[in-house]
């Protein structure tokens, strides 16, 4: 068992449709469902999931057969299968072939028997009993797979699959609809095709349809389980697990933050979903910190991209050749750029945000922003008041602008930012001196400050592009003069490579890095803005499927403070789809 979906409970809704005599197409679908059920059971058992089913006799027997085989092959272990049956049927076990003790011996969880309900007619008794059974199935499940189903052509009101699909929709459970396999599932989808856009399974309508068309039942089962593993389902798990805890990490890199902003803007626009409510924690360093704070304050990523496009040349005035020459000379003696210019632009941009003004705790999501205290030679992490810091005094929470200035005060580019610590003054400089790639800072915050099991962490990390060959050319002068031009970029790149390698080893396939090589080597070359923006959009398109499935899907995270999102929802501007967007 590899544990890809440990503890995830998957409700198999439906039945194998009865085929009409001499209808070869329907018989093929029936056989395909039978093979698929056994394939799905095998994959789910192997990956640590639990199949939940309401004991429809046709499907139940196929699941039990698969369970017996898996138990035999695995050395006698009980399998992840939970059968729930209504007393309406189990009161006559011989007639309905119900053996609760046999099920208990085979299955990891004891079968559940729901009471028989009352009614004025036998039909009412049956329907009320089935309604109670469905409620219990819903309580026990994280995800629903609807397949086949009877009664659609004969008496639609009796068809159970549509009722169970509606339950999934009402309770916002991720849903997989395999309409290509026929039955009531297919009929209901033909009646309500918009359901494919409301499944909360991370797939587009086209991807969902293509999934059900896969010829191999084994491949279909594997693809569904792999997709389930990417979803932030509310899993009924033990205390040391739970739903995935999603982290977004944004690197430093000066004006190259245009690349990051373009990536985020593309994803928000195409998915029509906001970044802030799809991540439990956002970490950002330097230019990544400016972006992280903006996202936390409710700014759409497109507005942040516009900030770089429109204000970048004023913050980094390097477009004029004469200015670059003079700045290059003065840069040996004083900081290259004015911190007041950056401060004024940040105050204006953040001030217009839905959550602008006030302290960092106005953020709509948890934030972690690395900096460095040059006065005391100590690492600093600015954060929202989460975890053990939840009860700190309001006066100790920095403002968004101060935090952004502190994390972006790159040595020689900007002066250190004087601010107050909890007990002593601080002179803050760019967090990139120790955590330009803030992934390990964020991981430590999740595990040690918030108590999140590392197995739950799903991390998306976005760079600001990198130089492919910093040391690719020979250094003729081996002393300080030869290294002076390369050393900053070299140390930033090796730091990022180290962090990237650590995250791959600690998180495995729960870590996704998005970055690309570029020719933009300096932190302040505003002439590269258009090239970086275009490159960001192209890279975002390449990673779109993975990100929309694993992170920006239809299941937002829980607000980090109760009632926070509801209070400001009217002020949040949703991304708008433009002509030509996907």
Count of domains observed in the chain: 2
For the residues of 134-169, what is the DSSP string, one character each?
HHHHHHT-SEEEEEE-S-TTT-GGG-HHHHHHHHHH
Residue 563 lies in a domain: yes
Q: What is the dihedral of CA 89, 94, 96, 100, to 10 degrees?
A: 70
Does the structure show a pLDDT above 90 at 519?
A: no
Whether residue 513 contacts residue 539, with contact meaning beta carbons closer than 8 Å, is answered with no
Burial of 321 (0-12, 13-18, 19+ CB in 10 A): exposed
> Rounded CA gap, 277 and 254, in Å?
26
Q: Give the tens place of pLDDT for each residue, 177-213.
A: 887 777 777 788 888 888 888 888 888 888 888 887 7
Residue with the bigger pLDDT between 424 and 379: it is 379
E strand or H helix at 500: helix 487-507
Among candidate residues 172, 196, 230, the one where a domain is terminated: 230
- Tell me: do 226 and 258 sit in the same domain: no
Confidence band for 321, pLDDT divided at 50, 70 and 90: low
Domain that holds residue 136: 9-230
**CATH number (domain holding residue 36):** 3.40.50.450
> Rounded CA gap, 435 and 285, in Å?
7
E strand or H helix at 36: helix 24-46
- Tell me: do 293 and 156 sit in the same domain: no
> Rounded CA gap, 13 and 7, in Å?
19
For the residues of 431-490, what is the DSSP string, one character each?
THHHHSSTHHHHHHIIIIIS---GGGEEEEEE---B-TTTT-S--S--SHHHHHTTHHHH
Residue 453 has which token pair? 């099991």
The arithmetic mean of pLDDT across residues 21-30, rounded, is: 74
> Rounded CA gap, 110 and 62, in Å?
19
Q: What is the pLDDT of residue 368?
A: 98
The arithmetic mean of pLDDT across residues 162-172, rounded, is: 82
Q: Which of 9-18, 187-196, 379-388 has the highest mean pLDDT?
A: 379-388
Q: What is the pLDDT of residue 385?
A: 92
The arithmetic mean of pLDDT across residues 476-498, rounded, is: 70
Question: Cα 273 to the chain's mean position, in Å?
Answer: 12
- Tell me: do 271 and 190 sit in the same domain: no
Q: What is the pLDDT of residue 510?
A: 86
Q: What is the pLDDT of residue 241?
A: 43
Q: Give the tens place of pLDDT for each residue, 118-130.
A: 878 888 888 888 8
- Tell me: do 249 and 208 sit in the same domain: no
Confidence band for 471, pLDDT divided at 50, 70 and 90: low
Residue numbers annotated as active site: 286, 430
Cross-strand pairs, 144:
11, 175
Q: What is the pLDDT of residue 204?
A: 81
- Please state, in angstroms and as integers, the Cα–Cα distance from residue 383 to each residue in 39, 274, 373, 377, 387, following that order: 47, 21, 15, 19, 10
Tokens 């040595």 belong to which residue? 411
Q: What is the pLDDT of residue 320?
A: 61
> Rounded CA gap, 21 and 513, in Å?
54
C-alpha closest to that of 106 among 67, 69, 58: 67
Residue 3 lies in a domain: no
Whether residue 254 contacts residue 291, with contact meaning beta carbons closer than 8 Å, is answered with no
Residue 438 lies in a domain: yes
Residue with the bigger pLDDT between 448 and 178: it is 448
Number of neighbours of residue 90 by Cβ within 10 angstroms: 17
Does the structure show a pLDDT above 70 at 325?
A: no
Among candidate residues 185, 203, 230, the one where a domain is terminated: 230
Confidence band for 300, pLDDT divided at 50, 70 and 90: very high
Percent of the chain with pLDDT over 90: 39
**CATH number (domain holding residue 473):** 3.40.1090.10
- Tell me: do 375 and 481 sit in the same domain: yes
Among candidate residues 176, 203, 230, the one where a domain is terminated: 230
> Rounded CA gap, 410 and 432, in Å?
8
Q: CB-side exposure of 152: number of CA atoms within 13 Å?
A: 24
Q: Give the tens place of pLDDT for each residue, 54-81.
A: 888 888 999 999 999 999 888 888 899 9
pTM above 0.75, yes or no: no
Residue 399 lies in a domain: yes
DSSP state, residue 402: H
b/e burial code for range 397-413 (CB count within 10 A of at least 16 → b): bbbbbbbbbbbbbbeeb
Q: What is the pLDDT of residue 364?
A: 94
Does the structure show a pLDDT above 70 at 238?
A: no
Sign, CA dihedral 364-553-540-281, equals: positive
> Rounded CA gap, 263 and 436, in Å?
18
> Rounded CA gap, 322 and 328, in Å?
10
Average pLDDT value for the chain: 84
């Amino acid at each position: 068992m590899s544990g890809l979906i440990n503890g995830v409970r998957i409700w198999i809704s439906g039945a194998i449709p009865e085929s009409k005599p001499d209808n070869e197409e329907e018989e093929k679908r029936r056989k395909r469902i039978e093979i698929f059920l056994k394939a799905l059971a095998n994959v789910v058992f192997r990956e640590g999931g639990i199949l939940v089913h309401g004991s429809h006799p046709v499907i139940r027997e196929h699941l039990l057969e698969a369970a017996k085989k898996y138990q035999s092959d695995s050395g006698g272990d009980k399998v992840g299968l939970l059968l729930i049956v209504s007393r309406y049927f189990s009161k006559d076990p011989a007639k309905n072939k119900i053996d609760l003790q046999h099920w208990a011996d085979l299955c990891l969880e004891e079968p559940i028997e729901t009471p028989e309900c009352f009614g004025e007619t036998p039909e009412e008794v049956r329907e009320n009993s089935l309604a109670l059974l469905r409620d219990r199935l819903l309580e026990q499940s994280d995800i629903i797979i609807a397949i086949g189903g009877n009664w659609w052509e004969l008496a639609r009101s009796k068809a159970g699959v549509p009722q169970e699909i509606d339950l999934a929709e009402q309770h916002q459970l991720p849903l997989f609809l395999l309409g290509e396999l026929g039955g009531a599932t297919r009929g209901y989808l033909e009646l309500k095709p918009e359901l494919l856009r409301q499944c909360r399974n991370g797939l587009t309508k086209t991807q969902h349809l293509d999934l059900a068309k896969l010829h191999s039942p084994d491949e279909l089962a594997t693809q569904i389980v792999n997709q389930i593993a990417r979803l932030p389902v509310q899993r009924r798990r033990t205390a040391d697990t739970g739903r995935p805890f999603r982290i977004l990490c944004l690197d430093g890199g000066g004006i190259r933050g245009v690349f990051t902003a373009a990536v985020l803007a593309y994803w928000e626009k195409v998915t029509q979903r906001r970044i802030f409510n799809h991540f439990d924690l956002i970490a950002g360093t330097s230019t990544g910190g400016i972006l992280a704070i903006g996202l936390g304050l409710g700014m759409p990523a497109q507005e942040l991209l516009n900030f770089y496009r429109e204000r970048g040349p004023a913050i980094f005035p390097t477009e004029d050749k004469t200015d670059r020459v003079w700045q290059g000379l003065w840069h040996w003696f004083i900081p290259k750029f004015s911190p007041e210019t950056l401060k004024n632009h940040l105050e204006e941009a953040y001030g217009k945000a839905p959550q602008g003004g006030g302290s960092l705790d106005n953020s709509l999501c948890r934030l972690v922003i690395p900096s460095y205290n040059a006065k005391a030679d100590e690492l600093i992490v600015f954060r929202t008041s989460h975890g053990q810091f939840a009860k700190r005094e309001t006066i100790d929470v920095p403002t968004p602008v101060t935090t952004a200035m502190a994390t972006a005060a790159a040595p020689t580019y900007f002066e250190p930012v004087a601010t107050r610590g909890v007990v002593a003054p601080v002179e803050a400089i760019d967090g990139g001196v120790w955590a330009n790639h803030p992934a390990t800072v964020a991981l430590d915050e999740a595990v040690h400050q918030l108590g999140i099991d590392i197995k739950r962490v799903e991390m998306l990390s976005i760079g600001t592009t990198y130089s492919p060959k910093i040391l690719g050319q020979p250094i003729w002068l081996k002393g300080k003069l030869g290294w002076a031009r390369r050393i900053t970029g070299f140390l930033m790149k090796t730091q990022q490579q180290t962090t990237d390698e650590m995250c791959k080893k600690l998180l495995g396939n729960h870590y996704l890095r998005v970055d690309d090589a570029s020719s933009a080597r300096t932190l302040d070359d505003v002439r590269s803005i258009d090239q970086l923006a275009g490159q960001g959009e192209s890279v975002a398109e390449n990673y779109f499927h993975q990100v929309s499935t694993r992170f920006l899907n239809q299941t937002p995270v829980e607000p980090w403070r109760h009632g926070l999102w509801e209070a400001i929802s009217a002020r949040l501007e949703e991304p708008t789809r433009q002509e030509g967007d996907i």
